[in-house]
Structures are given as structure tokens and as C-alpha cells.
Amino acid sequence: MLQIPYLRENKDLIVERYAKRNLDAAETINQIIALDDQRKSTQQSMDQDLAEGNALAKQIGDLFKNGKAAEANELKEKTKILKEKSSAEKVKLQEIEEAQLNLLYLLPNVPNEIVPNGNSDADNKIVAEHGEEVKFKFEALPHWELAKKHNLIDFELGVKISGAGFPVYMGKGAKLQRALINFFLDEAEAAGYSEVIPPHLVNEASGYGTGQLPDKEGQMYHVREDDLYLIPTAEVPITNIYRDVILKESDFPIKNCGYTPCFRREAGSYGKDVRGLNRLHQFDKVEIVQVQHPSKSYEALDGMVKHVASVLEKLGLQYRIALLCGGDLGFTSAITYDFEVYSAAQNRWLEVSSVSNFETFQANRLKLRFKNEEGKTELAHTLNGSALALPRIMAALLENFQVENGIKIPEVLVPYTKFDKID
């Protein structure tokens, strides 16, 4: 959520940056500023009325002491009018603040200046590539056929138990899934991240805090009886650890990681592009989260990008990094780098990670602050990244490491799986 002083001081720049998102926000910003003017004038009027009322109350007391009851009662009538007026002003103030907040919730984060213009993922900028395309001397199978052939994942059983998008991992498929989770967590720990096991359901305040609400309400599973939401990513509960917290500068950097299942409704996702593990309603992911000093957040972002790259390289997967254009940028993000691995059997790139800097956008919602060297309170910066999302990593491993008589296991995973081949 944007800060109103920032909106006032940088209105033209913000409108220009929003154009990267193909968003004309000028009218909304003007409305927010106009509401803020109303809020200030209403607050001023209410403060004046309260001050006048307090002054009259003192006069009334003095008049009664001096035996001037008639004059005191006359003033009491005046204080009654002032109380009624200030009460009405208080209600008006609350209405203005609520209207202003609702408009602020509609505004996404302001894109960083280096974010390219564009409408969709076709306009994203490839900034790095690593590895070579796998070549097969036989007809390569897509992962859903490999999974069925080797009894690794049962998609039909998942449909029976829950519905489409809820696969059942079995045998060596389950072991490989668990191996990947442990490998990702160990890599995060080695990079200085402290592991957290958070709740898998969060309250409404947590959803608003990290920006999933109200923007993505329809994409989240909602437990109506308890008014709780199933998490779409570990980012939500882990970042909310620091909601309503005032840090010290010496607390930075804060680096957390966590493995959780993730739940996303993904309404309207159909067709071959979502077959198998390509798009699920429930999936596993290891998330890395940082809370940083504003002056260090982009250095931290670079470090997170390098971390994800190193994990993919250790797995032996071909990947590329895309700087997302404004039209493909998430609601809460100021800048995002997507990692895509190449699926050799599907002949296409699969997104496996997003690494983002939210700057102060989440921190303002969370009231996540720190005291600077001068003792003044500032908003921190928050960042997160998938390190990594498992479904498409699993898909790429199955497809890219298949051989004529089975599937090889990347060397780095063998200590975790306790086997080096699926046959």
C-alpha cells in the first residue's frame, strides 16, 4: 500500500510508472488526495470543537463555583451542541478514512524504473540464460506419461480423492518430492536463512498485510466458518511474523525460509498447458523471505537471484531469467525476476521461481518499521522468492533426466533419495 505523502510529492512520477502496468491511476490518486484534504479539514474542525468544549467546561466549573448557575447552564447548552457536532465529525472522519483506505487498496505497487513496458509475458526481458538444451536419441515422454509409467504420481487418484489439480505422489515419486524439499531447505540454510514452519491457514489481517487481499480473494481457498484462508505461499505467514513490529537497525538482515504446501484455486485454468504438474491447486514450495533496510534491499534482491540460480545449476537444469514487464508484474511487486527451466519433452519453458522486491508496499500494510540511526521510525523493505516451487522442477527433472530405460537422479539429490535411478 502506498503512503499518502509519497503520493502527494510524486504524483506525476507515479502516474508515469503506473503506465508500465498499463494502468491510468491519475483519477484514483486525485480522489485519494482529495479525501486526504477532507480528512485534514474534518480532523482540524473536530480538534477545534473539542478544544472549545474543554475550555467551556472549565468556564462552567468556575461559574458554578462563583454562584453563577444561570450563566453556567447557558454554556452547558453550548457544550452539548459542540459534543453533537464533534461526534458527527468523528463519524465523518471514519467514513473518509475508510473510503481513502479502500482506494489505496486498489492501487498496486509502483514499478521500479528498470521494469520494462509491456502487456504480457511476451514482453518480459530475458536477462540471463544458463545451460544447454537436452538432446534425446529416442522419443522423449512428457512427465505425466513418465509418472504413470514408473508409478510416481497418480493424477486420476487425486481427482477421485479431491479433484483436478491435487496429485498423489507415490513410491519413488514421493521420495523424490521429499528429497527436493530437504535439498532446497539445506541450500537456504547454507545461504543464511533461518527455517520457519508456519501455519498453513491465516487470518484476514495476514492476507491484507502481504497484499493477497483484497486483490486475490477469489484465488484463495476460504474457510468461511472460521474466516481463515489457506495460504497461497509461505510468504504470507512468514512475512506476517513481523506485522506490527518495530525493529532495530541491528536486526537487519532478517532472512527466513520455510517449506509449506500451497493452495491456489487457479480458476479458469484448463487445456494442455496445465496438464500434469504444470498447474495445480495444491503444491509444495520452499520460500525465502527477507526483511531489509531500504538501502540494502536491492543488494539483497541480487543475492536472492544468485541463490536460486545456484540451486538450479546444482540440479543440472537449463534455465533463463526474465525481468517481468509492467503488464506481467504482480500486484504487490516493484520488480520481479522469474526463473524458467526448459522442459525437454514439452519443448517449452516452465516458470519455477519468482524473486521480488516489494520495497515498502507490504511493510506499510504490515506496519513493519524500524528505528534508524537518528531514532526516527521508517518502513522496512520486504522481499521474497520461490527457492523453489516443486511441481515444475519435478516435471523438468523427470523429462530432462529420462533415459531409455528409466530416469536418472541428479547427483546432488542422491544423498537425499538414497537411489540414483528410477526404473
> How much is the pLDDT for 65?
76
Residue 414: is it exposed, middle or buried by C-beta count within 10 angstroms (0-12/13-18/19+)? Answer: middle
Cis peptide before 106 (omega within 30 of 0): no
> How much is the pLDDT for 273?
62
What's the CATH number where 340 sits? 3.30.930.10
What's the CATH number where 16 sits? 1.10.287.40
Whether pLDDT at 267 is above 70: no
Mean pLDDT calculated for residue range 342-356: 94
Task: Describe the chain by its helix, strand, coil percentages, rounded to 5.
Answer: 50, 20, 30
| 101 and 165 co-located in one domain | no
| 101 and 24 co-located in one domain | yes
Residue 113: is it exposed, middle or buried by C-beta count within 10 angstroms (0-12/13-18/19+)? Answer: exposed
d(CA 295, CA 317): 33
Give the DSSP letter of residue 420: S
Asked if residue 147 belongs to a domain, the reply is: yes
Q: pLDDT digit string (tens) for 384-410?
A: 999 999 999 999 999 999 999 999 999
| 327 and 185 co-located in one domain | yes
321 in the Ramachandran plot: left (φ > 0), alpha (ψ -120 to 50) or beta? beta
| 267 and 327 co-located in one domain | yes
> How much is the pLDDT for 68?
75
Asked if residue 116 belongs to a domain, the reply is: no
Asked if residue 380 belongs to a domain, the reply is: yes
Q: Are strands 369-371 and 246-248 parallel, antiparallel or unpaired?
A: parallel
> How much is the pLDDT for 302?
98
Cis peptide before 116 (omega within 30 of 0): no
Whether pLDDT at 44 is above 80: yes
Asked if residue 86 belongs to a domain, the reply is: yes
| 381 and 342 co-located in one domain | yes
Mean pLDDT calculated for residue range 256-279: 81
| Mean pLDDT comparison of 61-75, 175-189, 263-277, highest-scoring range | 175-189
Q: What is the three-class DSSP state of 421?
A: strand
Of 106, 130, 162, the position where a domain reaches its end is 106
Q: What is the pTM of this model?
A: 0.91
> How much is the pLDDT for 158?
96
Asked if residue 111 belongs to a domain, the reply is: no
| 92 and 126 co-located in one domain | no
Q: pLDDT digit string (tens) for 103-151?
A: 999 999 999 999 999 999 999 999 999 999 999 999 999 999 999 999 9
- Mean of the per-residue pLDDT values for the chain? 94
Of 77, 106, 135, the position where a domain reaches its end is 106
Whether pLDDT at 271 is above 80: no
Of 46, 74, 106, the position where a domain reaches its end is 106
| 155 and 34 co-located in one domain | no
Q: Are strands 168-169 and 153-154 parallel, antiparallel or unpaired?
A: antiparallel
Asked if residue 113 belongs to a domain, the reply is: no
Q: pLDDT digit string (tens) for 221-251?
A: 999 999 999 999 999 999 999 999 999 999 9
Mean pLDDT calculated for residue range 255-261: 98
Asked if residue 165 belongs to a domain, the reply is: yes
> How much is the pLDDT for 342?
95
Domain membership of residue 30 as a residue range: 4-106
| 369 and 402 co-located in one domain | yes
Mean pLDDT calculated for residue range 372-377: 93
| 257 and 164 co-located in one domain | yes
In percent, the amount of the chain with pLDDT more than 70 equals 98
Asked if residue 112 belongs to a domain, the reply is: no
| 46 and 92 co-located in one domain | yes
Mean pLDDT calculated for residue range 351-364: 97
Structurally, the chain folds into a number of domains equal to 2
Instruction: Name the amino acid, one letter, at 239.
Output: T
Lowest mean pLDDT, pick from 72-86, 192-206, 363-377: 72-86
In percent, the amount of the chain with pLDDT more than 90 equals 85
| 128 and 196 co-located in one domain | yes
> How much is the pLDDT for 25?
94
Q: pLDDT digit string (tens) for 53-95?
A: 878 877 877 777 777 777 777 777 788 888 888 889 999 999 9
| 34 and 182 co-located in one domain | no
